[in-house]
Structure 1
């Protein structure tokens, strides 16, 4: 269960960082689900064509960046409603990947294998859980630290938070709000792209229709529950990952003869309850300009 928790948390953490960078910039991204799916498709396709997991991963990240740019073009450039823009990405990704899905390539590809971090992997209980993982999992943990430092200890982070809270004031001090939003939403797509690569090449090793399975929406809940901070999001991802791992164990063993459809609902029911409670109990606050278009004055 613990290994399954970390496995599920990695994808959720990458999606949460994607949504976090966008929302800190004032842009709502509900298209993470579509970004996961499209990136997984291209990561798997390129890997199956080239035999290179690295090239497949690069293709997945590039796809995520492209999807991020499309979201920015709609939400920032064309000033389309941000919820609609994200929905367009989700629908387009599902339709396109289903249309181009090639059954001849659905048998699977080789997956990333675990890398032991020396003596750390021998620590009882947590050694194999955290220190004997495939490379994208380690990269995700490193990115959590990098994003935290960048958001809260750098000029870029200060400007990003400024355009999400008060873009007008940011503009008056010389920050190009529209350009930075474009940049950030595009960059955020790269995290979802890495998540899609993780899903296809590290977690599953194949591609199937709608394989993201709602995890993009779970990632949004993780981001909100983690208060839009990288470490908070990872803690939330571990919690939600634990519910997913429990769900998988219940479905495998089915000790209580519960219909699998009800067991499959577990992570989403927990999501609804936790997000509702966190909104009631905590002092959670969205960025002031979240979801608002900005007209340069």
Structure 2
């Protein structure tokens, strides 16, 4: 295998792996800019994966993505009820909801599909090359020969960046995350914005979960979210709470996850593959440790008001 083929495969795998991370992290970025850190993101991802699996078998792949987003939003609605409505502690509530969602999806999966599971019968979204640019060496297959959901993630980052900077609602959301008292004085309803931001984050996380099934794995596996919700939170920190930075950070994590494939292709078979599988989680810890005290997080993030 030539170096060009290895580089092309690595970039393609990095972008594909980064897609669900980017979707979840972009949603979480909006939630955190409103002052709410959704530790329950993992629960929305796994709910979206199961929702997408069930719906895709009935109404097709498109319906599976919609159902995944709705399932993720349903989990987020429960989180918003307690944290935004009842002002409960966000960390404790998010942790409890994640555990609840992981257990519930496992139970529902076995109830619906039985002990044998859904196997590999779930319909999936195929690759849609962009004419012309997909033929560019290395970059073309990596960025422009992907499933449609990847293009959605690519477009969403600049749209959200524009929305936060250029619209009244985006500026209001930022004001709530930074200076909630000033936002209230200006006639802005913080709880309404926070609830909507959390629901959006849940929908995006559910879409990320559906992507895992319908654009990548082709099947549902219990616990297949595999910590991606927590990695998405780290991505938001690395991206400095800015959508474009979050998208770039997601690609970095996607590349870290794809290194195992690259190393194996290079013949580094003597090194246990488990070390490569651990890279994204090690990177998560390094990012959170390195960002401590440096990242300019929203001033009211995680605070009950």
TM-score range, shorter chain: over 0.9
* Aligned residue number for residue 198 of structure 2: 185
Between the two proteins, the alignment pairs up a number of residues equal to: 291
Q: Partners in 1 of 2:78 and 2:42 — Cα distance? A: 14
* Aligned residue number for residue 257 of structure 1: 270
Change (3 A) 1:86 1:248: farther
3-state SS of paired residue (1:17): helix
* Aligned residue number for residue 31 of structure 2: 22
Following TM superposition, by how much is the alpha carbon of 1:147 offset from its aligned partner in structure 2, in angstroms?
0.9
Q: Partners in 1 of 2:48 and 2:119 — Cα distance? A: 16
Following TM superposition, by how much is the alpha carbon of 1:278 offset from its aligned partner in structure 2, in angstroms?
3.9
3-state SS of paired residue (2:181): helix
3-state SS of paired residue (2:102): helix
* Aligned residue number for residue 15 of structure 2: 6
Q: Partners in 2 of 1:213 and 1:219 — Cα distance? A: 12
* CA deviations over 1:57-106 (Å, ceiling 9, x no partner): 11001112212211111101011100011112210111011112223423
Q: How does 1:100-249 map to 2 (within 5 A)?
A: 100-101=108-109, 102=113, 103-249=116-262
Contact 1:18 1:32 in 2 (8 A): no
Following TM superposition, by how much is the alpha carbon of 1:246 offset from its aligned partner in structure 2, in angstroms?
0.5
Following TM superposition, by how much is the alpha carbon of 1:247 offset from its aligned partner in structure 2, in angstroms?
2.4
* CA deviations over 1:228-255 (Å, ceiling 9, x no partner): 1111011111111111000244467772
Change (3 A) 1:104 1:213: closer
* Aligned residue number for residue 83 of structure 2: 75
Q: TM-score, normalised by structure 1?
A: 0.93
Measured on the aligned residues, the alpha-carbon RMSD in Å equals: 1.6
Q: Partners in 1 of 2:117 and 2:231 — Cα distance? A: 31
Contact 1:106 1:208 in 2 (8 A): no
Contact 2:259 2:276 in 1 (8 A): no
Contact 2:49 2:209 in 1 (8 A): yes
3-state SS of paired residue (2:132): helix
Q: Partners in 1 of 2:269 and 2:84 — Cα distance? A: 50
3-state SS of paired residue (1:118): coil
Q: Partners in 2 of 1:254 and 1:62 — Cα distance? A: 43
Q: Partners in 2 of 1:256 and 1:193 — Cα distance? A: 35
Contact 1:247 1:267 in 2 (8 A): no
More displaced 10-residue stretch of structure 1: 224-233 or 250-259? 250-259
Q: Partners in 2 of 1:21 and 1:135 — Cα distance? A: 22
Q: Where do 5+ consecutive residues of structure 2 fail to align?
A: 1-9
Q: Partners in 2 of 1:2 and 1:104 — Cα distance? A: 32
Aligned to 2:299, which of 267, 288, 294? 288
3-state SS of paired residue (2:295): coil
Q: Partners in 2 of 1:62 and 1:19 — Cα distance? A: 16
Contact 1:48 1:105 in 2 (8 A): no
Following TM superposition, by how much is the alpha carbon of 1:267 offset from its aligned partner in structure 2, in angstroms?
1.4
Say yes or no: does 1:65 pair with 2:73. yes
